[in-house]
Structure 1
Amino acid sequence: MGRLIFFVTNNIHKFNEARRVLAQYNIAVAMLRVKPSEIQDDNIEKIAKSSAIEAYQKTKLPVIVEDAGLFIDALKGFPGPYSSYVYRTIGKEGILKLLEESENRKARF
């Protein structure tokens, strides 16, 4: 492998997926268990950028971070980047309840 970058995560499944993808480009990845403080924002790019900057400032290593959200069309993008919190509080049952009157259940992750 040529280059080595550090993937900031505590999720072994996310790390393994990143390692498989980046290996195709001759990029070696090491898992870095740094817990940056995650800002609250509607914009996933801002959240990821803030996390990457903070992780780099703490470690001085080349890092990448990943952030995601669940954007449901019928709910105007809700819960978006707050999907983990929403799942912990109202669960999938709560989301389905919000969608009871909706035929369109399209979403993107």
Structure 2
Amino acid sequence: MDNKLVYITGNHTKFEVAYQVFKETGILLSQKNLDTPEIQSKSVEEVAMYSAIWASKKLNEAVFVTDAGFCIEALNGFPGPFIKYTNEWLSAEDYLNLMKGKTNRNVIIKDCLAYCKPNEKPIVFTGSFKGTLAIKPGKNIGTSIEQIFIPEGFNQPISEIPEEEMIDYWSNGDILTEFKKYILG
């Protein structure tokens, strides 16, 4: 068992979620903010695997990365794994304008974690989170997606939910739970 894990992310909340999952396991979790190349693919798995391979080679150590796709059912899965870019271009209102006349407000977040040791094939864990799109944006904080996505079990967008509650919510997801089982094996 590796007792050190390097999480490649610049996102504080993502790291806090992973930290919560691995606390009291004897695993030393560290965060590295490394701008990995993000290939253009409709597959969240391909994006995560490419980033993990690249980062493990660059750092010459085992790393894990996560990637997600935001799939709006009424928009045929748009924007999918392209949320990093669409969040730069589209406001929360823009997303909601795309939904005019649509009754299906279901969203699935496809979640993927890729763990890779240098010069080895990555090991991939996938999961999902369900939710709906808000009728109007929440607080103007965070990303456009965070202003309009209402996770299953909540009645308001992420931007309205206290960070501690969201960390608890995300930490119960499939990918980190399965990865933890694998690492502790």
Structure 2: gaps of 5 or more residues: 110-185
Asked whether 1:61 is paired with 2:61, we answer yes
Residues in 1 aligned to 2:42 and 2:27: alpha-carbon distance in whole angstroms: 31
Give the secondary-structure state (helix, strand or coil) at the position aligned to 1:10: coil
TM-score when scaled to structure 2? 0.55
Report the alpha carbon displacement of residue 19 of structure 1 after superposing the two structures with TM.
1.1
Greater share of residues in strand: 2
1:89-104 equivalences under 5 Å are 89-104=89-104
Higher RCO structure, 1 or 2 (CA under 8 Å, sep 6+)? 1
Give the secondary-structure state (helix, strand or coil) at the position aligned to 1:67: strand
Size of the aligned set, in residue pairs, is 108
- Structure 1 equivalent of residue 51 of structure 2: 51
- What code does the residue aligned with 2:18 have? A
Residues in 1 aligned to 2:31 and 2:25: alpha-carbon distance in whole angstroms: 17
Residues in 2 aligned to 1:88 and 1:11: alpha-carbon distance in whole angstroms: 16
- What code does the residue aligned with 2:71 have? F
Structure 1: gaps of 5 or more residues: none
Identity among equivalent pairs (%): 33
- Structure 2 equivalent of residue 31 of structure 1: 31
Report the alpha carbon displacement of residue 77 of structure 1 after superposing the two structures with TM.
0.4
Residues in 2 aligned to 1:88 and 1:40: alpha-carbon distance in whole angstroms: 16
- Structure 1 equivalent of residue 179 of structure 2: none
Give the RMSD, CA atoms, in angstroms. 1.4
Give the secondary-structure state (helix, strand or coil) at the position aligned to 1:66: strand
Report the alpha carbon displacement of residue 28 of structure 1 after superposing the two structures with TM.
2.2
Residues in 2 aligned to 1:51 and 1:23: alpha-carbon distance in whole angstroms: 25
Give the secondary-structure state (helix, strand or coil) at the position aligned to 1:103: coil
